Structure formats: structure tokens, C-alpha cells
Structure 1
Amino acid sequence: MKYMTGNEIRKAYLEFFKSKEHLILHSFPLIPQDDPSLLLIGAGMAPLKPYFTGKLVPPSYRVTTSQKCIRTGDIDNVGRTARHHTFFEMLGNFSFGNYFKKEAIAWAWEFLTEVLELDKDKLYVTIYPNDDEAYDYWHNMIGLSDERIFKFEDNFWEIGEGPCGPDSEIFYDLGPERGCGQPTCTVGCDCDRYLEIWNLVFTQFDRTKDGEYVPLAKKNIDTGAGLERLASVIQQKESNFETDLIFPIIEDVIALCHGDYNDPHQKVAMKVIADHIRAITVMISDGILPSNEGRGYVLRRILRRAVRFGRLLGIKELFLSGLVDTVIGILGEEYPELKEHEELIKKVIDTEETQFSATLAQGTELLDQLMAAAGPAKELDGKDVFKLYDTYGFPVELTEEIASENGITIDHAGFDAAMKEQQERARAAREDVSAKVATPDTTRLDQSKLVNDPTAIEATVVMLGKEGVEVARACDGEEVTVIIDNNPFHPEGGGQLGDTGMLEGKEGKAVVTDARALPNGLVYLVATVQEGALCIGDMVDVKVDKDRNLAMARNHTATHLLQAALRKVLGNHVNQAGSLVTPDRLRFDFTHFSPVTADELAEVEDLVNEEILANVRVDIEEMPIAKAKEKGAMALFGEKYGDVVRVVSVDDFSCELCGGSHVPSTAVIGTFRILSESGTGTGVRRIEAVTGAAALQKAQHDAAELRLVADMLKAKADAIPDKLSQVLAQLKAAEKELQQLKKEAAMSDMDDMLAAKEDVNGVSVVAAEAQADSMDSLRELADTIMDKVGSGVVLLGAVHDGKVNFVCKVAKADTKKGLHAGKIIKAAAQAAGGNGGGRPDMAQAGGKAPEKLAEALKAGKAAVSELIG
């Protein structure tokens, strides 16, 4: 066995299968393309599903990849085991109806034993018991003895109905020193001795709804070999984390915290950080940004988890972005997109880490309140723990650690139930989406005879589909997918909605509600038959809603101009992070780390309108992607492109890769108006705008509103600013006078409150109802009274908006006697239908029953008596 770096192993794998006539494909982005059933790419075959199912013709019938993958199902095990990761690379070779078991087994063995030079005597395989064909190849062709071929029932790959088949795994013996020491230790043991390094899936059946296994006409091969696992074997490391793919990051962490990798607790933390920063870097480079849902939530979760483990190592300052250079140094040669987005990656990480530092402080305060209210059971409710985790991003591990330090446990069952409920909601949502209209197998169609022509007015129906199955006829009321040979409908893509319109034939007509495209560019229509029937072979009149299409074209070209203007005003760090183009308006999400000022928005709007007024021609060209990049064409963030791309240019102002519909010249846009600017997540801003008729309507609406304001102020339109300034000045003076009167009224009550001071077991207690319209006012009054009495307890309650607010102050010296403001206020609040807690010297709470205020104050005094003994 010869030593190889992780990068050398990856390159050797791809080149080996290239020599076996496989097409090398660059890793697909982590964001699944045209597959709403997946949140993230988690396996090498996931982006290739349309080719395995036979719905699309692959670019080659033999393909090999090194695919970026993200899995978070076992995130809690990351760092605690030798092999669990959030990010990993899956090496794969795939056959779509080309070669099968013989070649797959022979090439796997050849690569492992001749290229990597692994010891043949340390390799073992598993097969499905009934797979005699695989056994024959392993035994007779490769020459493995029966003692090294294991038959396991679980060596069968299937996920419900659809393509499935037996699989065969290859294991490497790491030696008895890595085993459990039991005499029964062998392949399949739970210990670390026998490591799975390769899996060959032989997709040869189609499982029906009835559970029948029907042999496939075209059998497929799907293999996977974890790069990190192979590296750990070749480099003879105890775990994936010690390989050159990860350990340089751990070394950086050790230097940061001056830590000890041999300390078990520190070791876990270091592994977690190294694993997570790899995932974070790759996810951001693929267009995923932190948010509170979906992929963005996954990113935010692992980023915050990495920060939390950094804090456990004693790292107080921002540190994660400083590890990005090392990640790029390791992975950048294979994934150049990391270097391209280096600045953005670091900025997003710094922003999120800064925000989470504040979240940690807020979460700690909320956790203090929950612990104060835990009661005699000394257990935190699982739903509350989940809310801390889900709403505030407070790691459950941190909650458990802090609670444990205070002698409190957490309700794991309740937390797990709440987590499961959320996961089921998310899964159901994805299933709802994935259950929507699906196309049947399109491989029988000759795509060279299918034309996309925006001027087409008639066409022939070449395919109809219902629920993913081809049908010959669709009748009134049925929703179907339709493919026509001469298509003028522009499909959904690049944020733009698909075209709508009508199909009218001799037997019936259908309303087209959407147009979409498959990954190979084939356009299909989603339509509902409105009258009669639609059949394969029908000649139909095709009518696109031209007004709607033109409105979207205006908004799409304006989106390009908007992005170019933002980059000129804000800087080249601006990248598209999402968009929506509808007939009514456009929405553009972009990377930027602070609100866009009013002056900046005005400048952006002016730049776009200057291009519109200049009546610049919009050029659309198709060219090789290398030439497009030389021309400076901007690509969509995280998008995967083919060799030939469509470039949309507006003079030297804007140049982008885009498949959307556009106006012939900028003047057709009419005018451009920004409606709003807001933040949507860490480092992402959103602008909504209108063009054409919608912009004119907005201007007319604004003019009408201005006239209404002028009438209300009894002023002319051009005098509104001066008149409004006068009104606001008068209002401010009146509010100031009102506040002073309220303060004087509250202070006049203070003498009565002081006079009601009581002695409770030697402690001075002021417990009284106060007049205060806010918690701030009540707190200020409590401070003033405490200054007057100098010691003891001040407990005030004030009714406001149908609720009661409480504030409790305890003199610092008296907290040493056992008095605790949080416990006193909790007793008072509970008597008034509320709850609360806080620090020993100050606490605040609320109640739902203001009529029980007097009773609540008595309960507070009773708590003082109980605490002082």
C-alpha cells in the first residue's frame, strides 16, 4: 500500500474510471436541481436520479463523479465517532443501462488492489444471500474464498416502490488491535476493525406498489466510496479526522485555543469544529445562506454548533472565518468555486458568529428564567427546551450543560417529541411538493425534433402524462403534463414564472397554467383540460398570454439592470441570492451585510432608469461557458451550467448567464420603481420593485396619497414637509408635557407607598400598587423607592392594557440573607395568573388577572417572610 494524499486519491479515482470510458462530471451543487423532495444532496447518485429512472437521456451511459454531500441525520455523533461527518465527498462510478455486475466488481477490485495497492488479504465482501451472480464473480472471477464472502439479508437497496436491487460491500481489515477482542469478531461486527470502504448497488428490479419485483429492461450500477474513509486507510490513521483532508484544520484550532488534542473532551470539540467548517464553507459557496428554515437552517445550525464548541475550548473571539483559508487550501483545487466566493464565505461566517454571540447572551437569560420556574421537579419542560433551540438557536447541549450545573435535568422525551413533530412537518411539506405534477418517461422522444419557437402558433401533442405515467387521452377536468413539438411557452427558471395560455384542438381545449423544463432542457406544459379531450397526435392552436409574458420580460430585464446597479453602488460583493419574476413585480435577494440607505437606493433606482431612458438594445447570445466567463458574464450563485450557455447583455452595463425571457430594448421596460428594501437573513437583503404599467399605477397611487395628506394638513403639496415638521414639533412638546405630568403623578403616590412600608421579620418591605403605563416606568419608580428606603424589598404592581406588570428590587446586602427577587416575583405573578423569575437583586414579570393585584402583593410579602425564615 503506497501513501497518497486525499487529493491524489480523488484524482486517481476519476482518472481510473475515465480510462474505463466514463465521463467525468464536476460535482453538482449541494442544492438539488429540479428535485423538491430533497433538502440537500446527500449521496453521489442523488443528482443523477432522472438518468437512473430512465426519464432523461444521460450525457454518457458511463459517468464518474466526486460529489459534495451533506448529511445531518447523525449530527450529534460528529466528533464522537471515527466516521460521522456533516460534509463528505462520495466517489462514484455509474452505469445507466450499460455495464453491470461483472465490470463493476472487476473495476472496484482493480482500483483498490492495483491503483491504491491495498493488501488483497485484508479485503472482504458482503453480498445478498440470493445474489448468485455476484457470488460467482467474487468467488470465481476475483478468486475470493468462501471465508471472505459474507451473505447478509440487509444487502438489498430499496426505498419503497421504484428501482431497487441487491448490493455488495467491500470491507478492509484494520487489524485485531482495532477490534473488540471477541473471538466472534468478524465482518458485520459493531467494532471498528472491519471498515466498509466501497458499496456497489446493482439496480436490477422495479418494485411495484403491490410489492412485486419486476426485472428492469436496463440494469444500472450505482457505486459509492467515501473519500475520507479511503484516505484514513491509505494514510493509516485511526479516524477520518487525522487524514490530510481534515487534520490541518484541527491543527489551526489547537493553535487558536492552545489546546490538547489528547484530552477527550477537547478532541471532540476540535473534531466538530473541523468537520463543521468544511460543511459551512462548501454550503455557502454553493449559494446557501443562514436562515430559519430549510437549507439555511441546516447551515445556521452547524455554524452555531461550531461556535458553541469553540466557546467550550475557551475561544472567545470570532474565529471560524479564520479557518476558511485552510479549508480552501485543501479542497480548492477540486472545487474552484470555494476560492471564487472566499470573501463572501468569510463575511457570512463573521456576521452569523457575531449575531450568535448575542443570541448566546439572550438564550442564557431566558434559560435562567426557565430554571427559576422549574419548580420542585427540577426538570425543564421539553417543549421549552425545544423553543430555546428552535426559536432562539440555543444548542440543546448547552441548555443541558447549564441546567446540570444548577442541579436541573431536561425532559429529553418532550424535546425529542417536539423535534420529531417539526421534522414530520418539514418532511410532509417536501412530500407535498414532490407529489406535484411529474412527467412520464421522455426517453422515447427524439428531442432533436422538438423545437422551442416563441413565434409558434400551432403544434402537435407528442406526449401526455398524468401523475408521472404516459396516457393517450385526457378528458375534461383532468390536470396533465403536455409536451408539444413546436413550443412557444417560456418555462419557469431563473426566478421567472412559466408562461400560461391555451391549447385548442378539434376535440377540446386546455388551459396552460405553467411551463417547466427538465434538466436536459425539454419543456413540458402543465395544463387542465377545459372542454372535450386532448389526445396524443392532436394538432392544436397554441396561444401564449402575450401581455403576461411581456410584463414578465420587463421585470426580468429590469432585474438584470438592478443587480448591475447594486454592484456599482454597493460593491462587487453583491451576488444574487434568489429572485422572483412575476407579471406584477420583481423581487431580488442579494448578498449585502447592512441595510441599503435611502441615498443608495435612490442612486440604484436612478442608474436603472438611466439605462431604460437610453433605449439600449438587449443582446442575447449562446456561447461556450469559457467564452462567457471571458466576457465577464455573471452566473447565478450556486447554479450548475452546461458547456454552452445563454448570455444576456445590456451594452457594457450588465452581462449575465440567463435562460429567461427579456425585452428587445430597455425602453420597453418603461420605468422602474423600488417599492421596498429589507433583510431576509444573515447577509441577505431583498428589494421589491415594479416596472411598466405597475410602476405607473404606483406613481398614480402615491400622487393620490400625497393629495390626501395635503388635505389633512390643510396645506399645498409642496408645503407638506414644513407643515408636517410643525405638527410633529407640537406633538413632541405635548408628549413631553404628558410624560412630565405622569411622572409627577407617580411621584405624588410615592409618599403613600413609603408610608405603607412594613417590617417583615426584620426586613423593610414596600409592596404597593403603582400608576405606570410601561415596564420601563415601573422599573424607574422601583429604583427611586429603593434609593429612598436604602435596604429591604420593593415590590410594585401596575395594571396596564388589561394585564398586570410586576417589578421587584432587593437591596444587594439583603440578597446575602437569602432574599431573592426572582422567587418573590414568581410568587406574586403566579397569584395573578402569570409566571416569571430573574436575578436575586432584580426581577420582572407579568400576570393575566389584574383584579388579583392585591392578592398578588400579599403573596409576594409571604414569599419574603418564607425566604427570611
Structure 2
Amino acid sequence: MQWTGLNELREKFLEFFESKGCLRLPSFSLVPKDDNSLLLINSGMAPMKKYFTGEVTPPRKRVTTCQKCIRTPDIERVGITARHGTFFEMLGNFSFGDYFKREATAWAWEFFTKVLEMPEDKLYVSIYQDDDEAFDIWTKEVGVDPSHMVRLGKEDNFWEHGSGPCGPCSEIYFDRGPEKGCGKPDCHVGCECDRFVEVWNLVFTQFDNDGKGNYTPLEHPNIDTGMGLERLACVIQGVDNLFLVDTVQNIMKHISKITGVNYGDGEKSDVSLRVITDHIRSTTFMIGDGVMPSNEGKGYVLRRLLRRAARHGRLLGYHEPFLYKVCDTVINENLKAYPELDEKREFITKVIRVEEESFAKTIDQGFKMLRNIMEQSEIKTISGEDAFKLNDTYGFPIDLTREILAEKGIKVDVERFQELLKEQKKRSRDARKNAGADAWISDSTDLSDVEKTEFVGYTDLECEAKIAAIVKDGERVETAGEGESVVLVLDKTPFYAESGGQVGDTGVITADSAQIEVDNTTKDASGNIYIHSCLVKDGGITVGETVKAAVDKKRRENIMRNHTAAHLLQSALRQVLGNHVQQAGQLVTDNYVRFDFTHFEALTAKELIEVQDLVNEKILEGIEVTTREMPIEEAKKLGAMALFGEKYGDVVRVVSAGDFSVEFCGGTHVKNTSNLGLFRIRQEGSVAAGVRRIEALTGYGVLDYINKLSAALMGASGALKLTNPKAIVEGAAKAAQLIKEQQREIADLNSKLAAYQLDGILENAEEAGGVKIVTGSVKGATADVLRDMCEKARDKDSSTVIVLAAANEGKVTFAAACGKEAVAKGVLAGKVVKAVAQAAGGNGGGKPDMAMAGAKDVTKISDALAVVKETVLGLFK
């Protein structure tokens, strides 16, 4: 067995199976395609699941690959042990209904013993305990010594995941020698020690499991074999772990050169070197496949790995960004198999450097906060609030915080952290929807080098464009990735920017490897640059990249209907109410139009109907809506009305609906009034002195309004047990009268019940200092009932001091009353009830003879009533 480099091993394997008629496929991307069950590709067969299920026809029935894989369940163990890693390559050969056990076993043995010249006496084979066919093939046909065959149970040597294709496995082990073992006389294949290393797993997919324990033979059985390239390299190169394999070791050596720390100097530094080495391999390949740092999904995995690596760099005493330098070595060590890494070298390096620099800006403060926490001798768990601050302010992922604190035996309140994170995400979504994209641009953001945006949205709702700038948290950046909220500036856009009362467009921006959601569009202070507030939903983008910008067509059409309706509404108001009506503000959204106008009294029902009918009349007339640009003086001569708060240049855009409406307007409109469909005034009211507001709907908004109104009427009719909805007014009046009568009866009954309960409570009165102190808890009583009971007791005996309590819907109500004699002695109901309520976590007060209070803790009612006597005695003059 000759020493062989990892890159050579990879090539030997692929060439060998090509000689067996297998098609060599390049590694699939780490980002799963059309598979939501996986976050990242984690096995050699994962990207080919649809070939096995028959959903997709494979390019050939025999295939071989070396597949990039990422696994992160044991990320906290990476570095701590020399075994764990997040990135690895899986060698595989596959048969989709073609060759089966004989070929798979024979070729595996041939590759090991002939190509790699591994000694047969060092190789052991395990099979499923009931797979006699495999035993005979291995021993009688392949020629494996029966003493090197091991039968294992279903847990070890049978591959299945619920129902579906499944089958027995056969694994090949390499004996590293007794010196690597546990020393036990019965040490054998399957032992937990390091002597026998499982190198190759051959899965014979020959059954279909119905999920109930019934196995039916497949008509065309498959072969799925997998062998970790790094593990094979460990065996061939005679090293103990993947970090000593040639290509991986070269990466670690580069890290050592930068940091001045060598592998073997100490256990702690070795942990850090292993973490950095593994994570820079993972992150380089992930970015190469289009994953970008973010706070969710694949991007979160990437960010977490980068920040964990950066943190371990600091543990080695190196505080400058350096990972971006190491990724060069990762690329160089993998150039032959993955030439695309070299093509993306500059991009990968830039992304890593930007992420490192971003983390470096806040990490020192974060570490200071963590140190302060860890130095508190009594602390066992840090709060969710502190963990959230570390994440939100200092950029520490929760997993990194947990890992660092776990080293000191400190836990984190993760449940509270998740609650705070959820609240923050909701606030962020609301902010993007309501605040407009300007909120994402800081005053210091310099866009002076960006050309004026070309707006094509009057005629086109889609166009190709180039990304002119990306802004994140007020700072210009070169890239953005999945989960990040950013501002995009394009050289050309179909997105209307918020102005003139019309909201900005939303929609999507797409690139070859990215999907971006546009939440809002505005302009910068100059009015020349369009600002797209975005969320990168998938993939990543860079400045200069060509993208496709597409406006949400249905939403834009709804906005256009409502904007044209605002013009028609203003003209209708002027005709019905008079020429004193002037626009005082407006908001045009996709859901409704809000129009403020000068008028000095509420519109009557008759006037509202008249205005509404006039607008609908113009809609039904089907008037063409035209737009023209002209000198402002010419527009004024046409009688065009100006929009509120809008600034105009020498040349203006005029929108006309025949002679009925002529206005200055830079907004978007329908081509014909008939496009509005219907118009409905939803409400009218006052905004300020002399200013009224109308909210109105058009098109689908009217239909939705009518449908909801009809549903409400039908629901009310059913609740009132009416067969004819037209009788709903009469039915509601009768129901209201009945409720009124029943409330009167309930009040009478409550009064009688209170009087009955009061007699029992008064029997337990306690005399002290010349007053009668009465306390009690009344189950389910309302505040009014408690008040009535206290007043009756007070009026019955002027020396009475009474405090009653009741719990309703998780809250406590207290009532207190003092007779004249008690008040004369200085006992005041307001002071008594306040003290009582405070004992239950509440507060209150009132007049000397009658007072009320509330509290939240229903479990403290007894404790609260217990302080009444003490409080009363403390108030005596």
C-alpha cells in the first residue's frame, strides 16, 4: 500500500469506475435543488434521490461522483475531537436498476486490493446477519477469507428510512493494527476503539418497505455506495485524523504560519487550529456554491462557521481578519477537482473578508460583556435578554454564546432568547412595510457616485437592470446574502417610488442565483435615485450584477385604480360641495384611497351618496385617461389642479380623465375609467378643523367589501334566527330590547345574591378599636356587585370597615367601604384598599367612605385580606 495524496485518491476512484462503464458526474452544488427536505447536501446520494425514486431519468444507469457534503449536527464537537468535521467529500458509485451485488462487491475489492494495493489481511467485511447471498458472493466469488467476514444486525447493516426503497448493507473495514486498539482480547469489527475503521459502505437497495414491516423485492434493485474521501486518505496515508491528511494539513499549516501557532503546541491551541481548518474549508465551498452570510437557513450556517472560526483565531492571539487569506489555500488545494473555485476566488475572498471585518467591529465589546458575565461567581444561567443583546448588538450567534459559556459551565435561557428574536423579526417586518425604504439609508450613506435611476415603470412592469449599489445598515457593501435586509439601487427600474401620496411598488428582483423580495420603493433626498428596500430570500447578489426587476402586477393595478379614483373623487367633491374643496393630503395604496380635503362640516348621507354616484357614473362612461408632459404654465391654463405637497419643475406631467378631471400628477393611472370597476366610500370623518377625510375602495376592494358585508349580514341574520336578512334591523331592535330587559333582571338577581352573601360575611366581623372589621372573598362577583355589597354593609352600621375581593378572568378586584364612625377615627377606605391591593401586586384608591382597587395575582387574595386589620389599626388617629 503506497502513500497517495487526497487529490490523487479522488482521481483514481473516479477513473476506476469510469472503466466500469460509470458516467462521471461533477459534484452537485451544496445547495439542494428542488428539495426542501435538506438545508445543505449531506451525502453522496442526496442530490440523486429522484434518480433512485424514478421521478427523474438519470443520464446513465451507472454513475460515479465525488460529492461535496456539509453536516452540522455535531458542530460543537468540531475541534474538540480530531474526528469531527463539517465539510467532507463522499466518493460514490451508483446503479439505477443496472448492476447489483456481484459487481458492487467485486469492484470494491478490486479497487482496494489491486488499484490501491491494500493488503487483504487488513480488510474485513461486514454484512447484514440474514444476507446469505452477500456472504456467498464475498467468500465464494470475490474470495474474502470467511474469518474476515462479520454478520451484524439490522441497526448496523440494514439501510432504511421509514417506508420506501431499502436493503441490506455491506461495509469494508481496515485493521489499523492492535497498537491502535483498546487492548481487549475480544476487540473486533464493530468495537468502539480506533483499530477497525469503516471505510466503504455498500447499500444493496433491493426491497420496498410498506412501513408496516412488509418487504417486497424491487423489480430493479439499485446500488448506492459511499466512501469518505478524507477517511480513506487517513488510512492510505497512515495518519490518525483528517487534519493530518495532506491537503487539509496544508490548510492548517497556512493558519499556523499566519498565527504563529503550530499543531501540537498544546491541546487548547490544537482545538482552535482544527476549528479554523475545518470551518474555512466549509465556508469556502459554501460561498462558491452561492451561499451568502445571513441570519437564517443556509446563510446562518455559513455565518456561524465563519464567526466560530474568527473567534478561535482570537483565542490563538490573532486579532486581525485572516480567514480570507486562508481560503486561497483551500482553493489551491482543490483546484483540480473544483476549478470553479478559482473562477470565483475573488468573490469568495471578498465575502469572507467582509464578514470577518463586520464581526471584528463588534466582537471585542461582545467578548467584554461575556467576560463580565463569566466573572460573576454565582451565575449559572444568563438571561435571554443578555443573550439577545450579544446577538443583536455584538453579532454573536446564540450557538456561539452557548459554546463559549458552556466552557465555564454556564447555561443560557434559550427559550427567552427565541421569544425576543421572534418579537424583533416582527418589528423588522412591520418597519419594512410601514416606514418606507428611507429608513434603511442613513444620513451618512454616500451615493454621490451613483448615476440617476432610469424609471421605465409608466410603460413597463419588468426590465433588466444592473445593481448600482447595495446598502446594509446604512453602509455601502459589495455583496448581500440570504436573510439580509438591504437597500438596492438599480441603474434602471420599473418600480414606482413613493411620492405624491402614492405608495411605492413591491415585487421581486431575480438573478441567476438569487431571489430578492422588494418590500417598498422610495427615492433618495435628491429625488434622482430610486431606493428599493429588499429582503434577500435566497442566494446572494453583488454590485454590478445584472438582474431582472419585476413589479407586483396585481398590486400595481390596484394602486392605479385607487389613484385614478382619487382624481375622480376630488372633481366629484368640488361639483357636489363647491369649489372651496381643495386637496389637503392623500394616501393611495393597493387596498384603498384616503383623501383629505378642505370642508367645514360633516357630509350628509345624501351628499356622500351623490359623490359616490357621480364617480361611478364617470367609471361607467368609460372615459379615456391620458397623460401628457407640458410646460407648467400651459398646464395651468388647462386648469390642471396641483397635488398637495408636490413640487413641480418647469415641465409637468398632466393626467386627464376627459374634461371631468385634469391634474398635475407623477403617479401611475389606469388607461380608462372603466378599469376602476366600482367605487365605494367606506367612511368619512374629521381630520382637523376645516379638513375632512374620505376613505374609498375600487375594483376588487369593493367586491371584497360587499362580500364581507353580505357575510356579516347573513351571519347576523342567522344569529337572530331570521329567515329573511331584510328583517335584520327589526330583529336587532328586538334583540337589543330583550338584552336590556335581561340585564335588568340579572342586576336584580345579583343584588339579591349579594345581600344573601353579605349576611354570611358580616357574621364573621371582628371588633377592634371601636370599629367592626369585615373581610371576605366573593366568588365571581363583578366590581359593581362588590361595590353594592360594601355600600350596604357601610350603611347598615356606621362603625363598619369592610373589604371584599373577587377574582375574574385572572384578575383581582378589591372594594372597600368605611362607615362615618370609622372615617371619624381616621380609617379611610382609599388608604385601606391601596394597602390591600399592594399586597397582591396591584394598586388603587378612592374616597374616604368608598374605594376600589385591582391586582393581577389571584393567588394573593388571602394574603391581601390578611393585612386589613393591621392597616386599619395603623390608621387610627
TM range (shorter): 0.5 to 0.7
Paired position in structure 2 for 1:311: 314
Distance change (3 Å), C-alpha of 1:292 and 1:398: closer
Distance change (3 Å), C-alpha of 1:421 and 1:362: same
Listed as ranges, the matches of 1:210-609 within 5 Å are: 210-262=212-264, 263-361=266-364, 363-364=366-367, 367=370, 378-381=379-382, 387=388, 394=396, 399=401, 409-411=409-411, 558=463, 561-563=464-466, 595-596=487-488, 601=490, 603-605=491-493
Contact 1:594/1:683 (8 A) holds in 2? no
Listed as ranges, the matches of 1:417-816 within 5 Å are: 558=463, 561-563=464-466, 595-596=487-488, 601=490, 603-605=491-493, 636-637=512-513, 676-678=532-534, 680=536, 690=551, 708-709=584-585, 720=646
- In the alignment, structure 2 segments of 5+ residues that lack a partner are 421-456, 471-476, 498-509, 516-527, 568-581, 587-594, 599-640, 650-838, 842-855, 857-877
Paired position in structure 2 for 1:137: 137
Instruction: Please report how far the alpha carbon of residue 637 of structure 1 lies from its aligned counterpart in structure 2 after TM superposition.
Output: 2.9
Contact 1:82/1:240 (8 A) holds in 2? yes
Structure 1 length-normalised TM: 0.52
Contact 1:72/1:86 (8 A) holds in 2? yes
Paired position in structure 2 for 1:191: 193
Distance change (3 Å), C-alpha of 1:697 and 1:55: closer
Distance change (3 Å), C-alpha of 1:420 and 1:25: farther
Paired position in structure 2 for 1:612: none
Instruction: Tell me the matched-pair count.
Output: 512
Contact 2:465/2:549 (8 A) holds in 1? no
Instruction: Please report how far the alpha carbon of residue 702 of structure 1 lies from its aligned counterpart in structure 2 after TM superposition.
Output: 7.5
Counterpart-to-counterpart distance in 2, 1:309 and 1:384: 25
Counterpart-to-counterpart distance in 2, 1:687 and 1:354: 30
Paired position in structure 2 for 1:65: 65
Distance change (3 Å), C-alpha of 1:59 and 1:317: same
Amino acid of the structure 1 residue aligned with 2:512: L
Paired position in structure 1 for 2:103: 103
Contact 2:174/2:196 (8 A) holds in 1? yes
Contact 1:79/1:269 (8 A) holds in 2? yes
Contact 1:386/1:418 (8 A) holds in 2? no
What secondary structure, in the 3-state scheme, does the structure 2 residue paired with 1:31 have? coil
Distance change (3 Å), C-alpha of 1:396 and 1:292: closer
Counterpart-to-counterpart distance in 1, 2:124 and 2:562: 75
What secondary structure, in the 3-state scheme, does the structure 2 residue paired with 1:223 have? strand
Counterpart-to-counterpart distance in 2, 1:156 and 1:386: 43
Counterpart-to-counterpart distance in 2, 1:401 and 1:219: 45
What secondary structure, in the 3-state scheme, does the structure 1 residue paired with 2:48 have? helix
Give the greater-gyration-radius structure (CA): 2
Counterpart-to-counterpart distance in 2, 1:201 and 1:419: 43
Contact 1:204/1:216 (8 A) holds in 2? yes
Distance change (3 Å), C-alpha of 1:370 and 1:260: closer
Counterpart-to-counterpart distance in 1, 2:391 and 2:296: 10
Paired position in structure 1 for 2:209: 207
Instruction: Please report how far the alpha carbon of residue 293 of structure 1 lies from its aligned counterpart in structure 2 after TM superposition.
Output: 1.5
Amino acid of the structure 1 residue aligned with 2:298: R
Amino acid of the structure 1 residue aligned with 2:533: E
Instruction: Please report how far the alpha carbon of residue 719 of structure 1 lies from its aligned counterpart in structure 2 after TM superposition.
Output: 7.6
Counterpart-to-counterpart distance in 2, 1:15 and 1:418: 54
What secondary structure, in the 3-state scheme, does the structure 1 residue paired with 2:218 have? strand
Instruction: Please report how far the alpha carbon of residue 340 of structure 1 lies from its aligned counterpart in structure 2 after TM superposition.
Output: 2.3
Counterpart-to-counterpart distance in 2, 1:201 and 1:386: 45
Instruction: Please report how far the alpha carbon of residue 164 of structure 1 lies from its aligned counterpart in structure 2 after TM superposition.
Output: 0.9
Instruction: Please report how far the alpha carbon of residue 197 of structure 1 lies from its aligned counterpart in structure 2 after TM superposition.
Output: 1.0
Instruction: Please report how far the alpha carbon of residue 82 of structure 1 lies from its aligned counterpart in structure 2 after TM superposition.
Output: 3.4
What secondary structure, in the 3-state scheme, does the structure 2 residue paired with 1:261 have? coil
Instruction: Please report how far the alpha carbon of residue 2 of structure 1 lies from its aligned counterpart in structure 2 after TM superposition.
Output: 2.1
Counterpart-to-counterpart distance in 2, 1:325 and 1:20: 35
Counterpart-to-counterpart distance in 1, 2:9 and 2:231: 11
- In the alignment, structure 1 segments of 5+ residues that lack a partner are 423-550, 568-572, 579-588, 610-633, 640-671, 724-830, 834-847, 849-869
What secondary structure, in the 3-state scheme, does the structure 1 residue paired with 2:492 have? helix
- Percent pairwise identity: 46
Counterpart-to-counterpart distance in 2, 1:688 and 1:124: 59
Contact 1:304/1:356 (8 A) holds in 2? yes
Paired position in structure 2 for 1:176: 178
Instruction: Please report how far the alpha carbon of residue 217 of structure 1 lies from its aligned counterpart in structure 2 after TM superposition.
Output: 1.3
Q: Provide, for residues 260-296 of structure 1, a one-character-per-residue CA deviation record: whole Å limited to 9, x for no partner.
A: 3112211111111111111101111111111222111
Paired position in structure 2 for 1:511: none
Counterpart-to-counterpart distance in 1, 2:361 and 2:87: 27
Paired position in structure 1 for 2:118: 118
Contact 2:304/2:400 (8 A) holds in 1? no
Instruction: Please report how far the alpha carbon of residue 139 of structure 1 lies from its aligned counterpart in structure 2 after TM superposition.
Output: 1.2
Counterpart-to-counterpart distance in 1, 2:76 and 2:12: 33
Q: Provide, for residues 621-654 of structure 1, a one-character-per-residue CA deviation record: whole Å limited to 9, x for no partner.
A: xxxxxxxxxxxxx982399xxxxxxxxxxxxxxx
Distance change (3 Å), C-alpha of 1:576 and 1:81: closer
Amino acid of the structure 2 residue aligned with 1:7: N
With 251-260 and 390-399 compared, the bigger mean Cα shift is at: 390-399
Amino acid of the structure 1 residue aligned with 2:131: D
Instruction: Please report how far the alpha carbon of residue 690 of structure 1 lies from its aligned counterpart in structure 2 after TM superposition.
Output: 2.1
Amino acid of the structure 2 residue aligned with 1:380: T
Distance change (3 Å), C-alpha of 1:265 and 1:396: farther
Contact 2:28/2:67 (8 A) holds in 1? yes
What secondary structure, in the 3-state scheme, does the structure 2 residue paired with 1:192 have? coil
Paired position in structure 2 for 1:842: none
Contact 2:405/2:411 (8 A) holds in 1? no
Contact 2:76/2:403 (8 A) holds in 1? no
Amino acid of the structure 1 residue aligned with 2:380: E
What secondary structure, in the 3-state scheme, does the structure 2 residue paired with 1:34 have? coil
Contact 1:576/1:636 (8 A) holds in 2? no
Amino acid of the structure 2 residue aligned with 1:285: G
What secondary structure, in the 3-state scheme, does the structure 2 residue paired with 1:339 have? helix
Amino acid of the structure 1 residue aligned with 2:293: P
Instruction: Please report how far the alpha carbon of residue 192 of structure 1 lies from its aligned counterpart in structure 2 after TM superposition.
Output: 1.4
With 158-167 and 208-217 compared, the bigger mean Cα shift is at: 208-217
Distance change (3 Å), C-alpha of 1:26 and 1:574: farther
Amino acid of the structure 2 residue aligned with 1:605: T
Paired position in structure 1 for 2:507: none
Counterpart-to-counterpart distance in 1, 2:584 and 2:512: 43
Distance change (3 Å), C-alpha of 1:382 and 1:193: farther
Contact 1:63/1:93 (8 A) holds in 2? yes
Distance change (3 Å), C-alpha of 1:294 and 1:228: same
Distance change (3 Å), C-alpha of 1:409 and 1:577: closer
Counterpart-to-counterpart distance in 2, 1:170 and 1:186: 13
Contact 2:88/2:230 (8 A) holds in 1? yes
With 376-385 and 136-145 compared, the bigger mean Cα shift is at: 376-385
Counterpart-to-counterpart distance in 1, 2:479 and 2:409: 46
Contact 1:363/1:394 (8 A) holds in 2? yes
Contact 1:605/1:673 (8 A) holds in 2? no
With 182-191 and 108-117 compared, the bigger mean Cα shift is at: 182-191
Distance change (3 Å), C-alpha of 1:137 and 1:401: closer
Paired position in structure 1 for 2:23: 23
Counterpart-to-counterpart distance in 1, 2:563 and 2:67: 52
